[in-house]
Amino acid sequence: MEIPKKVEYIIEELGNNGFEAFAVGGCVRDTILGRNPQDWDVTTSASPMDVKRIFKRTIDTGIQHGTVTVMLDKEGFEITTYRIDGEYEDSRHPKEVTFTTNLTEDLKRRDFTINAMAYNPKSGIVDEFGGIEDLNNKIIRCVGVAKERFMEDALRILRAVRFSAQLGFEIEAETREAAKELAPTLKKISRERIQSELSKLVVSPHPDYVKELDNLSLNENIFEDRIIINEYTLRMLLVVRNDKVLRWTALLQEESTAERAKEILRGLKFDNYTINHVSRLTKWLRTEIAPDKASVRHAINQIGEDIFALLLEAKKAFYESMPYLPVKAGVYGIEEAEKADKLKLLEDVKGLYESVIENGDCVSLKQLAVGGNDIIKAGLAKGQGIGELLEYLLDIVLDDPTENERENLLRRAKEYKEV
């Protein structure tokens, strides 16, 4: 295995001071798979205080659990002392942590065999639990007894699904059985940690593996009210571009309202940007837009210029993912000719949208040639009447952009008031 020079330096320095040290976990797994590891973690027989003594610049990122971050230039590497976890009482944290000098004891506490391998240049790969075999067979398997691993940290249940989706692996039978049995323990896990794993699953190369949320009884234990995951959800997830907002829009497309989507995302402690964009995209996903410039300008204004292009992309994936089925009672689908027509209409709308933006047509109040102060100075309205008048003028300009001139709009406003 080739490892970064800085990681090799850390391992060598610890060795020079009489300690074992290995690259461990996901970085070993990914390197074997020919993937580029995002992080390089090192495990060592040295105590946290020994690590701090050996390296000049360190940060106590989790020293009570044996983790010290070593800074080399401006890059940080987590160094964790071999440890044995004590009893778990909350499906998340061990009651106590005991440091050890035995690498195998440290590896056996890890979640899956493919994440329980270690490497250093002198010893080569240390694989005590069949990780390489499971990589070759494309299997996600717990280290040791699956129920024990999941009882230690319930989030590992969701991580099993996430890793299977990222790697295209199957979850081994005993691991599946334990995951399904212990699914209710996910209720003890923070919403933020749940959200992180779900998002990694949704933007993975196999987002359709979200079907495992139903197969393993995770859906009802993650969401207060189950989300709808059907064949149309899975189809759109596979078709739409790999973007967090678009993938979550696909996942929540079958929810009844934008408010329902917003409620789900808030429950998972998403950021306001994601909540706002996904809920609005789900709201407008099934709305038809007429292929003429005036209708497109009105649609941009109503839907929002900030998400309009994204909506067109989502709508295209929505139509493309619909199966060829005759539309009849109880069957949700679309005939092939109708599907082609919808995609052609959408392409026309996209062309009109690009033309509207390129021409700089007014599509919002901020682009209107007059504002509230102009209305007040002209003595045309005050209070709520200002907004009503501006909306009236904007409606005129959305129909015909050439109307967007200050004197013209003030004249129009005066005529409106007189009427």
Measured between alpha carbons, how far is 233 from 120 in angstroms, rounded to an integer?
44
pLDDT of amino acid 1: 87
pLDDT of amino acid 272: 97
- Residue 20 has phi, psi (to 5 degrees) of -80, 155
pLDDT of amino acid 96: 72
What does the pLDDT average to over 113-131? 96
Calculate the alpha carbon distances from 111 to 81, 285, 293, 417 in Å.
Answer: 17, 39, 56, 71
pLDDT tens column, 213-271:
999 999 999 998 999 999 889 999 999 999 999 999 999 999 889 999 999 999 999 99
pLDDT of amino acid 85: 78
DSSP state for residue 196 in the 8-state scheme:
H
Calculate the alpha carbon distances from 267 to 194, 209, 247, 295 in Å.
Answer: 10, 22, 18, 36
Contact 99, 82 (CB under 8 A): yes
Q: What percent of the chain is predicted at pLDDT more than 70?
A: 95
Tell me how far apart the 2 most distant CA atoms of the chain are, in Å.
Answer: 92
Does the CA dihedral 199-92-35-44 come out positive or negative? positive
Of 38-42, 321-325, 404-408, give the lowest mean pLDDT range.
321-325
Calculate the alpha carbon distances from 341 to 297, 309, 319 in Å.
Answer: 22, 20, 10
